[in-house]
Amino acid sequence: MIKSEAYLDIVWRQFKKNRFALASLWILAPLFLTAIFAPLLASNWPLVFRDGQQTLYPWFRALVNPEEPVDYVFNMAMIGFFPCVALALAANRRWKKRGLPGQRRVIRAAVMYLVMIGALSLLFSFDVVCPKNKYRARTFTEEQFRSAGAKRALYALIPFGPTEQDLDSTFKPPMYHKDRDRWKDANDGFTHVLGTDNTGRDVLVQMIYGTRISLTVGFVAVSIYITIGVIVGAVAGYFGGLVDMGICRIIEIVMLFPSFFLILTLVALIGPSIYIIMVVIGITGWPGIARLIRGEVLKQRSIDYVAAARALGSSHWRIIFRHILPNALSPALVSAPFGIAGAIITEAGLSLLGFGVRPPTPSWGTLLRLGNDNYTYWWLVLIPSLAMFLTVTVFNLVGSGLRDAMDPRLRM
């Protein structure tokens, strides 16, 4: 007797045959973990600070009161990571007993994690729950250094903050560290593994926190235009006629707008903002997805199961979103990794030109712009360029593997 397989199982089996795509998928895991656990990897806020007889916890207060909304969401992801892992492991036993395939269990765990991030973000948005950062004006590294051992602190692995400046250490090459007679803070003795920038900020720390910006731009922008493209394409393909004709003309008009130059125009009028980048990429990138989904829906609507759903009295919207779209989403899912890679490159290019995120928010493109002004600071060119090359390559390889896995002509 031949054992039946779910569609996800077939796709995963095909995907694993592509070694480069599978290796790239595993490389994405540390990339996401770096973005999520950035404050544990690098922060100049002490995890614990012993001030005489008083014990303070500045790191947690800074964690729930960040300067950037992007950091807030990632910080909530870090807080909820281990509780969600524990819940997923407990739920996995029940899912196994019910006979759910491994891929579906992973998807359920991912959805559970997203729900927990949303719940924590909402919970800590209330003043009653969220402790205020009353230590914002204090410089704990300087206090500890001047106390001559009276004050003690425990820091993250890298005791530098993403916006912490040291004007005595500007444009220093990798593996630089201050001489002891020039120390002013408790963390001055730590080595700048990847060097410093024009204001003495640690490059490695900026690369770690810049991962958050790159992933946020990629995933949010792609989520926006995939959502728009799927809905618009499904409506055009299902109803046809004048509706299809009108939507196709709108698609052609939107395709005329170059997103890069539209972003430049809006930034010149409003000012640099990561949100402008995400929204413009989102609202200008959907026509390609819409055309792919339209073609799939046109093919699916002529199959017998759609006629059966109509005969049973299902509404048009139920037929579209409940019956047709689950069978027509493959092109959108395949294009998502390529779209994320493109959005990351767009953000880096805008930051390189000075139209990206607002300083002092760390970004790979901002570091590249600093190195572009003077090539003697080679580490500011080489390091972010390698990071962007590897990230974009990994997403493209995952997209290629997903495309091949979803192609029925390649199944054996």
pLDDT digits (tens, 9 = 90+) for 122-154: 999 998 888 898 888 889 999 999 888 889 999
Q: Going edge to edge, which strands form the sheet with 48-51? A: 54-56, 48-51, 151-154
Residue range 213-234, pLDDT digits in tens: 999 999 999 999 999 999 999 9
Q: 412 pLDDT exceeds 60?
A: no
Question: What does the angle CA 180 – CA 183 – CA 185 come to, to the nearest 5 degrees?
Answer: 140
User: Predicted confidence band at 5 (pLDDT cuts at 50, 70, 90)?
Assistant: low
Assigned CATH for 203-410: 1.10.3720.10
Which pLDDT belongs to residue 271? Answer: 77
The band of 410, judged by pLDDT with boundaries at 50, 70 and 90, is low
Q: What is the pLDDT of residue 208?
A: 95
Which whole number is the average pLDDT over 28-42? Answer: 94
In the chain, where are the structural domains located? Answer: 203-410
Measure the CA–CA gap between 7 and 3, rounded to whole angstroms: 13
pTM as predicted:
0.89
pLDDT band at 380 (very low <50, low <70, confident <90, very high): very high
Share of the chain above pLDDT 70, in %: 97
Specify the pLDDT at position 57.
92
Average pLDDT estimate for 248-264:
85
Residue 267: which pLDDT band, with cuts at 50, 70 and 90? Answer: confident
Indicate if the pLDDT at residue 373 is higher than 80: no
C-alpha R_g of the chain? 25
Tell me the pLDDT tens digit for each residue of 22-33.
899 899 999 999
Q: What is the residue-averaged pLDDT of the chain?
A: 87
CB-facing half-sphere around the CA of 378: CA atoms within 13 A: 2
- pLDDT score, position 246: 93
Q: Which residues contact 67 (CB under 8 A, 6 or more apart)?
A: 163
How far is Cα 292 from Cα 287, in angstroms, rounded to an integer? 9
The answer to whether 26 and 86 are in contact (CB under 8 A) is no
**Ramachandran quadrant class, 241 (left: phi over 0; alpha: psi -120 to 50; beta: rest):** left
The share of the chain scoring above pLDDT 90, in percent, equals: 41
pLDDT of residue 2: 45
Q: How confident is the model at residue 408 (pLDDT cuts 50, 70, 90)?
A: low
For residue 303, give every residue at least 6 positions away whose Cβ sits within 8 Å of its Cβ, in sequence order, or none: none
3-class state of residue 270 by DSSP: helix
Q: What is the pLDDT of residues 59-73, one digit of tens each?
A: 999 999 998 888 999
Most confident of 38-42, 163-167, 263-267: 38-42
**Tell me: the pLDDT tens digits for 181-210?**
889 898 998 999 999 998 999 999 999 999
